[in-house]
Structure 1
Amino acid sequence: MSFKICTVGCGNMSLSGHGPSYKRYAALHKDTILAACCDIDEEKASTFRAGFGFLRYYTDFEEMLDTEKPDAVCLVVPEHMTASLSIRILEKGYPLMMEKPPGLNYDETIRMIEAAEKHNTPNQVAFNRRYMPMVKKLRELIAEEKIHNLRYDFYRVGRFDEDFATTAIHGIDAARYLAGSDYSYIRFDYQPLPEFGPNVANIMMYCKFESGAEAQLSFCPVSGIVAERVVINSYDNTWFMNLPIWNAADFPGRLVHYHRGNLVADISGNEICEPDLYINNGFYNENESFFEDIRAGRKPGGDLKSALQSVVISDYIRKRKTEYRKC
C-alpha cells in the first residue's frame, strides 16, 4: 500500500532541510509517493517539485489536499502563518507535521490543539534539536543521571530581528528536552541593545525545572559566532556539547564527557551520523519519525501539547516579561 506525502511551503527551510529529507525517505521506502508540493510562488513550487522528485505542484494548498488526499502533510511556512494554516489542515483530518513555533502564543497553540483533538488528527512539531543525532546521543548518555544543572548558550551573528523569540524557542525547547522535565520557574533578564534596532537585546534566563535541576540560558543575537553550546553536570560527571548548527563554526559538532576529572569520551559529530546538514541538523530524523508513526498508526511524539510550554515561554520573551511560574 502506498504512502502519499504532500508539503506546503517551498522556501529556504524546505530547500535546505526538508526537501532532501523527503527525497531520502522516498528512496529508502519504495512505496512512498511524493505526491505534491505547494507554494504561493509558482516558480518556487515548480523548482522544488523538480529538485526533490514530487509528481505535481500547486499554488493553492487546499486544492492540493482535496485533489491528492495525502497520508501525511508537512507545513513549512513563515511563523506568522503556521497557526492559521495548521488549523485548516488539522480540521480536514490530515496528519500534520508543522515547523516551529506552532503558534506564537498560548491562545494560538490552544486553538491548534483543540482542532487536532476535535478531528482526532495526529500531529508533530518540528523542533529539530530534539531529533539531532548528537542531541539524541547525549540524551541517551544522561538518561540514568540526576541532572544538577544545565547551561545552554545560543549565539547568532547580525540578527537584528524585532522578535528573536521565534528563534530563541529552539534553545528553550532543547534545554527542556535535555533536562527531561518541564520548567517550574524562570527569571528573565534583558540587556537592551537599541543601537542595533528596536527590541534587539541579549536575553538571559535563570531556570528551575520540576525535576529539581537548574539551568542558565543565554541568547546573544548580535555576537561574533553562530553556535549553540551546552554543558550538563551531574554527580561526578560533566558533558560538553557543541551542536552542529548549519555549516557554522562548530560543524560537525562535538560531544565530550568527563568523569571525576578524567576524559571518558570525545566524539566528533561525524562519528555519530553522516555529515550531510539535513541529517546532522535533525531534519531527516524528525520527518522519518513522523512518517513512521503515521504508517504504524501511532501517536507521534513531540505533538502540539508537548510544545505548549516552550511556546508560552518564548512569548514571555516577546513581551519582555521578567518572571514565569508554571501554573
Structure 2
Amino acid sequence: MLPYLTRRVVGAALVLLALSVVVFAIFYLLPGDPAQLVCGIKTCSADRLALVRQKLGLDQPVAVQYWQFLTGLVVGRDVSAGPNVFHCPAPCLGFSFQTDEPVLALIADRLPVSLSLTAGAMVLWLSIGVGGGVLSALRRGRFIDRATTVFVLGGMSIPVFISGLLLLMVFCVWLQWLPFPSYVSLASDPAGWARSLVLPWFALALVEAAKYARLTRTSMLETLSEDHIRTARAYGLRERRVIGRHALRGALTPLATMLAVDVGGVLTSASLTETLFGLPGLGQLLVQSVNTLDLPVVVGLVLLAGFAIVVGNVVADLVYAVLDRRVSLT
C-alpha cells in the first residue's frame, strides 16, 4: 500500500506541475494585456501602465514569474504593494490582478457555494441514475427499460444551459412555484438555501444522471450474465440477496472511477450552471477570471480542479480494491 501511495503522490505532483506550466503558457499566448484591463483601456497613460505592470509583476520574465509562483506554493513569498510589503504564507497562490485579494481567500469564500451545488446534484444524479439503471437492467425489455432509454437519450442530448433555461422558464416564469435563484447560505437559512439551489441541482444532475443510468444498466447486464451469479442462483439464494450482495456490488465497480472523475471535473459543468443561475461559486469565478485575464485566480482554480481529480482517482482505486477483491494495489 505504501509504495502505491508514494507513486501516486509523485505522479500527482508531476501532473499539477504540468497543469501550471500549461496554464502559464496559454496565458501568455492569448491576446490581451491584463495590466491594460486593470489600468483602463482608454484612460491609461503609458507611465501608469508601466506602474501597473510592475505592481502585478508582469514586467519580469515569464520564467521568473513562474519560479516565484512555485516558491510561493512551497514556502510562501513577499508581495509588494506600493511602499508596503505583505507576506503571503504557503501555499501562496498569489493575489488577484483585479481585486488585489489573496487567491486562496477568494477560493475559500466561494468554495461553499460550489460544494453545496455539487453535493446536492450528486445525490440526485446517483439516486436517479444508479436506481434507474439497476431497474432498467432487472426489467430488460419492459416499460421501465424503455423509459430509461428515452431518459438517457434526452438527458445526454440536452446541454446544461438549455436544461437550466427550461427549468427557469417552467418553474419561475410559467408556474411561479419558485423565485429566481439567489444564493442563501446554509447557516443563515437552511430552507432558503435549499430553495435557492433546487433548480441548479436538477439542471446539473440531469446530464450526469443520464450517463450513470446508461453505465449502470450496461454494467448490471454484464454482471448478471457472469458465472458466479448463475452459481448463486443455482444454490437457491434469494433473488434479492443475489442482486444486492453479488450483482450490484460488481456492477457498481466501474462507477467508482467515473464518479471520481466527475467530482473533480464538475467545475466545468458548474461554471455554466453557476453563471446561468447567478451563483457566486468557483465556476462563476473561473469564467470571470478568464474574461479578465486574471492569471493567479485561473491557475489556482485549475490546480484545485486537478488536485480534486487526482485525489478522486486515488479514492476510486481504493474503492475498486474494496468492491473487487481481484484488484490488488501494488
Fold conserved between structures, TM > 0.5: no
Where relative contact order (Cα < 8 A, 6+ residues apart) is larger, the structure is 2
TM-score by length of 1: 0.25
Richer in helix (by share): 2
TM-score by length of 2: 0.25
